[in-house]
A and B are shown apart, each in its own frame.
Chain A
Amino acid sequence: MNLSYILLIPFVPLAVFLVLGIFNQKIKPAVSGVIGVAGLGISTLLSYYTAFQYFFVSGKADGIYQTFVDKIVWLHLTDSLQIDMGYLIDPISVMMLVVVSTVSLMVNLYSRGYMKGDDGYTRFFAYLSLFSFSMFGLVLSTNLFQIYIFWELVGVSSFLLIGYYYTKSSAIAAAKKAFIVTRFADFGFLIGIFVMGYYTGTFDFQELTDPEGAVILNWASTSFMGLSVITWALLLIFMGGAGKSAMFPLHIWLPDAMEGPTPVSALIHAATMVVAGVYLVARLFPMYYLVEEGFALEIVAYVGAFSSLFAAIIAITQTDIKRVLAFSTMSQLGYMMMALGVSGFDGHEGLGFMASMFHLFTHAMFKALLFLGAGSVIHAVHSNYLKDMGALRKYMPVTNITFLIAALAIAGVPPLAGFWSKDEILVAVYEHNQFLYLIGVLVAGLTAFYMFRIYFGIFWGKETKYEHTPHESPKSMSIPLIILALLTIVVGFIPFSELVTADKMAFEAHLNIPLAVIAVSVGLVGICLAWLFYKKENDLSDRFAHAFGVFYKWTSQKFYFDEIYLFMARKVFYKNVAAPIAFFDKKFVDGTMEGIGNKTVLISQKIKGMQSGKVQDYAFGFIAGVVIIAFVFIYIWTN
């Protein structure tokens, strides 16, 4: 299987980024949009071709999907430890290629309409291409170090795109927040990589995750505080993943990241970058599952389940539609983590793994669609807030229908994509942990409720007076919406259990009718409640909010986590750690250096008068010196 063309998938967007970035001022906006779309188009075609070749033509041998690797030694540290660069093709990386390229292409197409007339149009497309390059690189990584490098690169592109409107102070603050919070998590990731590299002697995914390999068999050889060091390393690596995937308690950056342009939110903060954490856990899945009897995996499951519930509750009370979608993303990511966390490894036991990847796939489609739909609405009414919207179905039929399809999909209504993947997740969770299953069902209901709350709030509800009559978005925006809506309808029928599994062997996944009925009916209850509350203008929701009192207030303030972190950062960390260190640095370290410099200047000021410029003074010094030396020699000779 000749795979060298795979390199083009990341490098075409990189070339686009360089061209658009270097000739930023010289390229006309219309041209830069076309270049961006064309670059991504090539990557998308190649990704689809790869997926077709891999899944249906030459990827399989003896019923097992093979792993293809091509790499070069990049850094030679010691003879036993080296860092490679290359690409790795296996079911999950191929699947991610398809997800990233599809959503990137749709977002690029959409942005041509959405960003029209913006000053930084070319810059925007350059950043999008940079992001696509980094994300492809991340997906194709062959080892922990390579994935870390691209991990930081997607972080940088995310930072640049959140802070795209750099004249807005809230956007700058959000960009910094996203960067610092994820960097804090990445610090754990990096330590995890070092620990892993030190104790296993390799960074390579294939060696690390081989179930019969030395690394997994020898996990118990060194322990630290009652756990294997490998478990510690896995937990630290999960910390990086949790930061990127906005898991509790590192979720605070994701809602603020909505300050970026809406297509960015769709691409980076809904469909691709934020699933990197899930992808990382899936990439190392055999380690998580087999080391220490899956202790680290259990933590992943509980963190995922809690985040999922936590975010779903907050999403109900938010009034900014993009923030509702952000919390929804966090909630769905929690779902994926939870499914990974309860998964086994062989055959049908690995249902959770497959369901998680399936949900990642479908979620990328319908969440991107939701964000792009929200962007279309924001484009029309120039506001993010529900209070400025209402009864838009008359003005924006295409957005209305596509948004409805996506909302139904995320609520888990058959036969849309979300139903299939969510059902698999709930089945997998039910089979392993019934407590988590209850959380999962509750979250499913909440998801349906908050999603239809904003749906009815935007497209039905009260008649709102608009300054300008809203109108349907231009074709460049509505066509990607329609394509994604079609994808949302069909991708649920992809037989994922035959393609992407933990042990890379196909298995039969059946629809579990009773569980599916429960999930769907809970979803429908959520939708009906939302219908009661928000379909027509009424005071039911206010009365409920009033009844919940303090709890409602806490929820609408996101449980004050921003405030807690600010308090921790300012009052505790800054005051007790950073300020004393800064004091020491300024007074002692800098003080010593500045003291040396100042004294030198002072002394030279004093003695510069000796350089009078008078030849006679110099001659006097010279002669005086000769005389003194003469006396010294005479003294020595005479004694």
Chain B
Amino acid sequence: MIPGVSITEILTLTSILFFIGVYGFITRKNLISILISVELILNASVVNFVIINKYLFPDVLEGVIYSIFIIAVAAAETALAVAIIINLYRQTGSVEVKDTQVMKY
């Protein structure tokens, strides 16, 4: 519970954060930027977990524990994605999305 802040305001904030992430994921040309956008989406949902837990079910901790899980998974995912991007960079000399379209139809 944060005094003076309602759940609606926080959920609005996380929704904005989420859609910024989605927008970035769709429009960015650079793979690193896309990865950052994905992190934004993940973080928006993590904040949602924590806030909903705190505001609606203050006497349990599941939401908080889930958020820790998500952070761990996100870290692993990021490591994987960066590894792929590095390999891609070795192959093509670029981390641009347009250089990864060799498998289309």
- A: residues with CB less than 8 A from B are 608, 611-616, 619-620, 623
CB-CB under 8 A from A612, the residues of chain B are 101, 104
Q: Are B101 and A616 in contact (CB under 8 A)?
A: no
Q: A623-B22, A623-B26 are in contact. Are A616 and B105 (CB under 8 A)?
A: no
Q: Which residues of A contact B26 (CB under 8 A)?
A: 616, 619-620, 623
Contact of B101 among A614, A619, A620, A623 (CB under 8 A): A614
Closest to B103 in A: A613
A620 to B24, alpha carbons, bound, how many Å? 11
Asked if B34 is at the interface of the complex by the 8 Å CB criterion, the answer is yes
B5 at the interface (CB under 8 A from A): no
State how many angstroms separate the Cβ of B102 from the closest Cβ of chain A.
7
Min CB–CB distance B67 → chain A (angstroms): 22
B105 touches A608 (CB 8 A): yes
Q: Which of A613, A615, A623 contacts B105 (CB 8 A)?
A: A613
CB distance from B101 to the nearest CB of A (A): 4
Between A and B, 6 residue pairs with Cβ closer than 8 Å are: A611-B104, A612-B101, A613-B100, A613-B102, A613-B103, A616-B25
B97 sits at the interface (CB 8 A) = yes
Indicate which residue in B22, B28, B104 contacts A613 across the interface (CB closer than 8 Å): B104
Q: Which chain A positions have C-beta within 8 A of B103? A: 613
CB of A614 within 8 A of CB of B105, answer: no
Give the distance in Å from the alpha carbon of A615 to the alpha carbon of B25 in the complex. Answer: 10
User: Which of B25, B100, B102, B105 is A619 in contact with, Cβ under 8 Å?
Assistant: B25
| CB-contact partner of B34 in A608, A611, A613, A616, under 8 A | A616
For the complex formed, measure the closest distance between the CB of B31 and the CB atoms of chain A, giving whole angstroms.
Answer: 10
Q: A611's closest neighbor in chain B, by CB?
A: B105
Which residues of chain B have C-beta atoms less than 8 A from A608's C-beta? 105
In the complex, what residues of A have CB within 8 A of residue B27's CB?
A: 616
Alpha-carbon gap, A497 to B92, bound state (A): 99
Chain B window 81-105, contacts with chain A (Cβ cutoff 8 Å), 1 for yes, 0 for no:
0000000000000000100111111
**Knowing A623-B22, A623-B26 touch, does A616 contact B104 (C-beta < 8 A)?**
no
Shortest C-beta distance, B89 to chain A (Å), equals 17
A623 CB to closest chain B CB, in angstroms?
6
Q: How far is the CB of A104 from chain B (nearest CB, A)?
A: 65
8 more A-B residue pairs beyond the given contacts A608-B105, A612-B104, A613-B102, with a C-beta to C-beta distance below 8 A: A611-B105, A613-B101, A613-B105, A614-B97, A614-B101, A614-B104, A615-B97, A619-B25
Query: For residue B101, which residue of chain A has the nearest CB?
Result: A613
Q: Chain B nearest CB: distance from A614 CB in Å? A: 6
* Residues of B close to A620: CB separation below 8 A: 26
A616 engages B22 (CB within 8 Å): no
B28, closest chain A residue (CB): A616
Nearest A-chain residue to B27, judged by Cβ: A616
CA distance A612 to B105 in the complex (A): 7
Contacts of A616 in B (CB 8 A): 25-28, 34, 97
A614 to B22, CA, bound (A): 15
Q: Give the 8 A-B CB pairs with smallest separation, nearest first.
A: A613-B104, A613-B101, A611-B105, A620-B26, A608-B105, A613-B103, A616-B26, A612-B104
- Report B's interface with A, CB cutoff 8 A: 22, 25-28, 34, 97, 100-105
Bound complex: CA A612 to CA B102 (Å): 10
A619 surroundings in chain B (CB, below 8 A): 25-26
With both chains docked as a complex, state the minimum distance between the C-beta of A541 and any C-beta of chain B, in angstroms. 82
Q: Which residues of chain A are near B101, meaning CB under 8 Å?
A: 612-614
**Closest residue of B by beta carbon distance from A604:** B105
With A and B bound together, what is the CA distance between A622 and B22 in angstroms? Answer: 11
For the complex formed, measure the closest distance between the CB of B84 and the CB atoms of chain A, giving whole angstroms.
12
CA A616 to CA B21, docked complex, whole Å: 13
Closest chain A residue to B29, Cβ basis: A616
Bound: A616/B30 CA distance, A: 11
Name the residue of chain B whose CB is nearest to the CB of A623: B22
- Chain A residue with minimal CB distance to B22? A623
Distance in angstroms from A601 CB to nearest chain B CB is 14
* B residues less than 8 Å from A613 (CB atoms): 100-105
List the A side residues contacting B104 at CB < 8 Å. 611-614
Q: Which residue on A lies nearest to B19, using beta carbons?
A: A623
Chain B residues contacting A611 (CB-CB under 8 Å) are 104-105
Q: Which residues in B have their C-beta under 8 angstroms from that of A614? A: 97, 101, 104
CA distance A611 to B102 in the complex (A): 12
Which of chain A's residues have a CB closer than 8 A to the CB of B25?
616, 619
**How far is A612 from B25 in the complex, measured between Cα atoms in Å?**
16
A25 to B27, CA, bound (A): 70
Which residue in chain B gives the minimum CB-CB distance to A610?
Answer: B105
Alpha-carbon distance A613/B101, docked complex (angstroms): 5
Q: Give the complex CA separation of A614 and B98 in angstroms.
A: 8
Closest Cβ of chain B to A621, distance in Å, is 10
Q: How far is the CA of A620 from the CA of B27 in the complex (A)?
A: 9
Assembled-state Cα–Cα distance A446/B105 (Å): 81
Q: In the complex, A514→B34 CA distance in Å?
A: 118
Q: How far is the CA of A616 from the CA of B37 in the complex (A)?
A: 12
Q: Shortest CB–CB separation between residue A607 and chain B, in angstroms?
A: 10
* A39 to B1 alpha-carbon distance, docked (Å): 106
Who on chain B is nearest to A616 by CB? B26
In the complex, how many angstroms separate the beta carbon of B88 from the nearest chain A beta carbon?
A: 12
Contacts of A623 in B (CB 8 A): 22, 26
A616 to B28, CA, bound (A): 9
Complex CA–CA separation, A615 to B27 (angstroms): 11
State how many angstroms separate the Cβ of B33 from the closest Cβ of chain A: 11
In whole angstroms, what is the CA distance A608 to B22 when docked? 25
Complex CA distance for A616 and B33, rounded to whole angstroms: 12
In the assembled complex, how far is the CB of residue B24 from the closest CB belonging to chain A, in whole angstroms? 10
Once the chains are docked, how many angstroms separate the CA of A611 from the CA of B105? 6
CA distance A613 to B26 in the complex (A): 14
- Which residues of the other chain, A, contact B22 by a CB distance below 8 angstroms? 623
Bound CA span A620–B22, Å:
9
Please indicate the chain A residues that have their CB under 8 angstroms from the CB of B34 in the complex. 616
Nearest residue in B to A617 (C-beta to C-beta)?
B26
Closest residue of A by beta carbon distance from B98: A614
Name the residue of chain B whose CB is nearest to the CB of A612: B104
**Cα of A613 to Cα of B56 in the assembled complex, Å:** 43
In the bound complex, CA of A104 to CA of B31 (Å): 85
In the complex, the chain B residue whose C-beta lies closest to that of A613 is B104
Q: Residue of B at shortest CB range from A624?
A: B26
Minimum C-beta distance from B29 to chain A (A): 9
Q: How far is B25's CA from A603's CA once the two chains are assembled, in angstroms?
A: 30
B15 to chain A, nearest CB (A): 12
CA distance A608 to B105 in the complex (A): 7
The CA of A608 and the CA of B104, in the complex, are separated in Å by 9
> CB-CB < 8 A to B100: which residues of A?
613
Smallest CB separation, A25 vs chain B (Å): 48
- In the complex, A614 Cα to B26 Cα: how many Å? 10
The interface residues of chain B lying within 8 Å CB-to-CB of A615 are 97
Query: In chain A, what residue has the closest Cβ to B23?
Result: A623
Q: Give chain B nearest CB distance to A612 CB in angstroms.
A: 5
